[in-house]
Amino acid sequence: MRAQFVLREIGIGLRRNLTMTVAVIVTVAISLALLGTGVLIRQQVETMKDFWYDKVEVTVYLCGEVSRRPSCARTAVTQEQRDQLLAELSATPEVDTVFYESQEAAYALFQEKFADSPDLVDNVSASALPESFRVKLKDPTKFEVVAAAFDGRPGVEEVQDQKALLQPFFRILNRVQFFALVVAGLQLLAAALLISNTIRVAAHSRRRETGIMRLVGASNLYIRLPFLLEGVLAGLAGAALASGAMVAVKVFLVDRFLKPTFAFTAFVGWDEVLMLIPALFLTGALLAGLSSFVTLQRHLRV
């Protein structure tokens, strides 16, 4: 196989078909960029879970005098119940640490949190706030175990999973991700069809060359390789553009805008972005290679 010959043929082919080649590159770039965005959103969700699940806790609120729950029976939690619950919580295998927050401690936090609104602070007394056990789990997803064991127990007003507060946010991200992946899928399909069509046009416009190649006994590989590489090259060019877009998203959207604006949470790092780039190149090359190959199989036979 003579590399020089193959390269020359690719050059001729790409130039002859320039507008189609550009269309292929742009379509591949858009579809891969959407695909990459979908993957990055997935990783953003994971990053946030890692970040938050370390911090969030399960809170077991205990009954106060004002509690309306049946399990409270209109009386505040007794010292006996409190000790019993603490002992059982500490003995639960899924539980890492337990921390008791008294009504006074809750009130102090409340005062701190709403220091800007003295009216509110003045109208609330410590007895209106529930005391609680702050429970840190070994595995933050094991909330159900604790909830099943302690919810509805005498002296327990409510078992609350702080993780649940993050759910609506994750739901939005998941929906955006789903949408990006669906559009990416459609775009990939469009890219495959466009590549297929481009290769068909290229094969047709060069049928004289390929006809002569067949007659003088060029192998199938030799006849098809320039077309195949043309497709793969366009796919790789699209992947390069998409990778550039991913880097731009990281630099301009995540680092310059989202990070300073939403400083309270973590964002995808360069690791995730840089790992994504080889995957995009591979996808681009495979997409273009496969659709070219299938097309050539059907339209350029010996």
Partner 1 sequence: MPDRSVVWDSVIRLEDVTKSYPTSSRPALDGVDVAIGKGEFAFLVGSSGSGKSTFLRLVLKEEVPTRGHVHVAGNDLSKLSRWKVPALRRSIGCVFQDFRLLSNKNVFQNVAFALEVIGKPAHVVQKVVPEVLELVGLEGKARRMPDELSGGEQQRVAVARAFVNRPMILIADEPTGNLDPNTSVGIMKLLDRINRTGTTVVMATHDAAIVNSMRRRVVELEDGKVIRDQERGVYGFGG
Binding part of the chain for partner 1, among 48-56, 90-98, 212-220, 232-240 by CB under 8 A, reads 212-220
For residues 40 and 107, is the Cβ–Cβ distance under 8 A?
no
Interaction of residue 79 with partner 1, rule CB under 8 A:
no
Torsion of CA 264, 276, 244, 33, to 10 degrees: -90
Nearer Cβ to partner 1 (4/79): 4
Residue 5 binding partner 1, by CB under 8 A: yes
Nearest CA to 144 among 77, 58, 83? 58
Q: Which of 76, 55, 69, 74 is nearest to 130 (CA)?
A: 76
Residues 214-243 that bind partner 1 (CB under 8 A): 214-220, 222-223
**Element housing 159 (H / E):** strand 156-161
CA distance 165 to 56: 10
Sheet holding 95-101, edge to edge: 95-101, 132-137, 58-62, 156-161
10 sits near partner 1 (criterion: CB under 8 A): no
Residue 209 binds partner 1, judged by CB under 8 A: yes
Smallest gap, in angstroms, from Cβ of residue 293 to partner 1?
16
100 vs 222, beta carbon nearer partner 1: 222
Q: By the 8 A CB rule, do 27 and 191 touch?
A: yes
Per-residue x/- marks for partner 1, 243-282, CB under 8 A? ----------------------------------------
Q: Does 18 bind partner 1 (CB under 8 A)?
A: no
Q: Which is nearer to partner 1, 9 or 57 (CB)?
A: 9
Question: Residues interacting with partner 1, by CB under 8 A?
Answer: 1-2, 4-5, 208-209, 211-220, 222-223, 302
